[in-house]
Each structure stands twice: as structure tokens, then as C-alpha cells.
Amino acid sequence: MRVKRGLGRTLAVVSILLVVTAAATAYSYYLLQQSSSSQSQLQQLVSNLESRNTQLQQELNSGVTPNNASVLGLDPVSIYRSANRSIVTIQGDQVTTVNTFFGPQQSLQVVLGSGFVIQDTGSYYIVTNFHVLSGDTNLTVTFWNGNSYVGKVVGTDPYSDLGVVSVTAPPSQLFPIQIASSSSLQVGQPIVAIGNPFGLTGSMTFGIISQVGRTIQDPVAGNFSIASAIQFSAPINPGNSGGALLNSKGEVVGITTAVVNGAQGVGFAIPSDTIIRELPSLITTGKYNLHPYLGIGSADMSYALAQKQGTNVTYGALIEQVVPGGPASRAGLRAGNTMVTLEGTQYVIGGDIIVSLNRTKIVNTDALSTYLEGHALAGQTIQVGIIRGGSFQTVSVVLGTRPPPPSS
């Protein structure tokens, strides 16, 4: 397959050729007007310009263009060299119980995942996913050079799928990686993912940020979604969980956590801002209990739902359910009361439509979860903008604390 050359680069080279040619012509004319002492210097200049002209013409004809990674402003080789020693393999034994004809039988399953070394207040830790550690025994951490050490779980948060591990490795073995803020990530920004898919240690892939502010469903979080997830195109596989998602500077901007089964180039990561926010609590208390809780069940508004609801508002989060005694219930937010079916999916309409939080527009349930997770804490009061009966109004809601997941 022929590779299409970069049009922008071609135009740039052609422009340079025109300038060089014009300059050479001008200087040639100027030579005729100068004294013999000046002609020698000018002849050298013209010779240099003509040489550069030939070089640019050869480059244009060859069609040489940077590779994809260079076009993206990415130097994968340098990033890998700087980050590889920070990536670890986490292995544990997970006991599962299966009911058989002969009664309950236990089986031992080896769980493999990834993680990366960080430093906090002078101490070293491994950051990984909660689901990599959940139920594990005999935890070991293996470094880039094959050395393995005993690991111990320090703290976990199922709602963000985060886990922190301490390790008995000597300081000479530990190469902490820098964590950057994920708040400035943009769609199209280049990233790389390093982890251990299928136990293949130190594997790297690269791609781009596909979207930010996603919510993902994971059994470890119970009935709640994991908010603010980063969607990216770099291929990941089982074993990548807990690995590092890096920007073009080799800094952590996320922790790879999930991939859509059967899909290619659709991976998800927990943003680094979540790690930064929760890390102190996970290290000192072993948990994080400040996730805000609104106490509703909601659905994305759409044109079809707006028609059923009898409103012209086609964006926002439609409240289908309100948890009795929860924050939304105490504040007077209203749930739906009429069930409808659209394209095979059931909805409960007639409830309030959340269109803003603290004057920030809420376009769908992803935006609702992302705002709450990134800008609010349990116990805070927020201003919820709603559409009720065709009119906009604001309701003050004191956020609660999420109940623990059923598995904890």
C-alpha cells in the first residue's frame, strides 16, 4: 500500500525552494554590479544557496516524511527508556469457590497485572488497580530486571479502581515515575501505554486520547459507575491493568484499567488527578471515603426522550429514580413516574432534568458523574439546576457519602 506523503510538509518544502531560487537569481544579478572584491564573497553565498536548493529538491523528490509518532510530537524510544524501569508486574493467588456435585470446591488462580513506582513523602509505593489486588494472597512485585519482592496492600478504593502496594525492595531497585495533572488532556493528544499484557513484561503501545470524562461500569464498584475515565486508542489487553498511561514527556496521566471486549482501540484509564487526590488518604488510612453521593438513578436526555417528556430540552440527565432518604430526596428532587420504551430500552420519564451543577452545564450522565467526582466532595452543598414543568429552577443539595460497595 502506498503511503500518502504529508501535504503540509510538501508545500513547506516547495515554498522554501521558491525562496531559495529567487534569492539565487537576485544574487546572480547583483554580482554583475559589484567590484571583483565583493564578487568572491557573493559567489560563495550563491554556491551555498544552490547547494541547499539541490538538497531540498532531493528531499522533496524522496518523499521523506516523519513517522506517525514524530508527527504526534512523540518520541516513544526516549519515553520507554525513561519509564520502563518504573513499571512492575504484580502477581497474586486468588482463591475461588465453585459449587460442584461433590460440594463446594476451591481452586487457586494466578492473577497478573501491572503497576508503577511512585514516591510520596519520601516513601516508595506501587500504584495499580483495585481489581488486580482484590482477593489476592501471596502478593509479589517483579521489576524490570526480573527481581521479585513481597508486596503488601496499603490501601484500596473500589469506586476508582485504585490500589496502593508497599514492597520490600531496596531503594536501588525503585525508580519512581512523575505524575502529571490530567486536567489539561485534550482529544487527539498523543499517549503511550506501558504494561504487561498476558505476562509479556514491559510492552508498550501508543495512540491518542479519544475522549475524556467517560464513565465506565465495573463490578468492583457495585452499582456505581467509575467517573472521569479517559478513553484512548492505544491497544491494551489483560495484564495491562494497573499500567501507566503516559504523555509525550513520559509523565503519568492515567492508569490503564479496562478494555471493551471485542473492540479494538477502545481502552480506558483512571485519570491521574484521581490518583493525586486519593493517594494521601489511601496511604494514611487505607481507604478513600470522600466520593460524593447524590442518590439518584438517571439517563441521558435525547430528542426522543424530550418528545416523550413534552419538553424541548434535549440535553441533561433525566432523573428516573430518587433513593429514599438520600441527598436528592431530602432536597426535593423528583423522580419519574411513567415508564416508556424507546428502541428496546425502558425509561422512567416525568422527573426533573438536571442541566447544570454550580452553573456548569451538564449535557449527559457522563458529565454529571465527572463534575461530581472532580469538583465536589461528600458534605458539600451544590446548586443543582433542573428543568421541572417546563421551567428552570435551582435546588440546593447537600451531598452525602457513598455507601460501601456490596463486596466490601
pLDDT digit string, tens, across residues 136-161? 788 999 999 999 999 999 999 999 99
Report the CATH number that the domain containing residue 138 is assigned in CATH. Answer: 2.40.10.10
Residue 182 has pLDDT above 60, yes or no: yes
Q: Is residue 124 part of a domain?
A: yes
Total tally of structural domains belonging to the chain: 4
Q: Confirm whether 161 is a catalytic residue.
A: yes
Inform me whether the pLDDT recorded for 336 exceeds 70.
Answer: yes
Higher pLDDT, 120 or 17: 120
On average, the pLDDT of the chain sits at 84
Catalytic residue among 114, 131, 248, 291: 131
Is residue 347 a contact partner of residue 389, using CB atoms and an 8 Å limit?
no
**Catalytic residue status for 131:** yes
Q: What percent of the chain has pLDDT over 90?
A: 64
Mean pLDDT, rounded, for 344-358: 97
Do residues 281 and 229 lie in contact, with contact meaning Cβ atoms separated by under 8 Å? no
pLDDT value, residue 134: 84
The answer to the question of residue 78 being in a domain is no
Which pLDDT band, with edges at 50, 70 and 90, does 31 fall under?
Answer: very low
Q: What is the mean pLDDT of residues 170-181?
A: 96
pTM to 2 decimal places: 0.76
Instruction: Quote the pLDDT of residue 230.
Output: 96
Cell of 170: 531496596
Question: 136, 157, 161, 218: which is the annotated catalytic residue?
Answer: 161
Rounded Cα gap, residues 194 and 202, in angstroms = 6
- Sequence-distant (6+) residues with CB within 8 A of 368 are 298, 317, 354, 357, 362
Name the one residue in this structure whose C-alpha cell is 527508556. Answer: 81
In this predicted structure, what is the pLDDT of residue 95?
A: 73
pLDDT at 135: 77
Answer yes or no: do 397 and 369 share one domain.
yes
Is 14 inside a domain boundary? Answer: yes
Reduced to 3 states (helix: H, G, I; strand: E, B; else coil), residue 367 is helix
CA distances from 289 to 15, 251, 385 (A): 60, 27, 26
- Residue 229: closest CA among 185, 190, 262: 185
Residue 179, pLDDT > 60, answer yes
Which pLDDT tens digit goes with each residue over 72-131?
Answer: 556 889 999 999 999 999 998 877 767 776 677 767 778 899 999 999 989 999 999 999
Residues 194 and 259 in one domain: yes
> Could you tell me if residue 59 is inside a domain?
yes
Tell me, yes or no, whether 184 lies in a domain.
Answer: no
Residues 325 and 368 in one domain: yes
* Domain-terminating residue out of 285, 304, 326: 285
With contact defined as beta carbons under 8 Å apart, do 223 and 403 qualify?
no
Q: Same domain, yes or no, for 23 and 96?
A: no
- Given 86, 134, 210, 241, the catalytic residue: 241
Please tell me the predicted confidence (pLDDT) of residue 136: 74
Quick one: average pLDDT of 19-24?
48
**Over pLDDT 70: what percentage of the chain?**
77
Which of 41-50, 80-89, 213-222, 320-329 shows the lowest per-residue confidence on average (mean pLDDT)?
41-50
Q: Is the pLDDT of residue 41 over 90?
A: no
- Give the domain-ending residue among 241, 262, 285: 285
User: What local confidence, expressed as pLDDT, does residue 48 receive?
Assistant: 60
| Whether residue 346 sits in one domain with residue 385 | yes
Given a cut of 50, is residue 306 above it in pLDDT?
yes
Can you tell me the distance from the alpha carbon of 132 to that of 86, in angstroms, rounded to the nearest whole number? Answer: 18
Q: Are residues 326 and 239 in the same domain?
A: no
Domain assignment of residue 123, given as a range: 87-173
- Determine, yes or no, domain membership for 72: no
Q: Are strands 87-100 and 391-398 parallel, antiparallel or unpaired?
A: unpaired
Question: Is the same domain home to 272 and 214?
Answer: yes
pLDDT number for residue 129: 95
Could you tell me the three cell numbers for 16?
Answer: 522554501
Query: Looking at residues 362-370, what average pLDDT do you find?
Result: 95
Mean pLDDT (whole number) for 167-187: 95
Helical segments of 35-123, H only: 36-62, 68-71, 76-83
- The answer to whether position 23 is within a domain reads yes
CB atoms within 10 A of CB 170: 9
Per residue in 387-399, pLDDT (tens digit) is 999 999 999 999 9
Task: Report the relative pairing of strands 87-100 and 103-120 from DSSP bridges.
Answer: antiparallel
* 222 occurs within a structural domain: yes
Stretch 18-46: mean pLDDT, rounded?
52
d(CA 128, CA 277): 15
Looking at the structure, do residues 238 and 337 belong to the same domain, yes or no?
no
Among 268, 285, 302, the domain-final residue is: 285
State pLDDT tens for residues 261-276.
666 789 999 999 999 9
Alpha-carbon torsion (372, 375, 376, 380), positive or negative: negative
> Does residue 332 sit in the same domain as residue 392?
yes
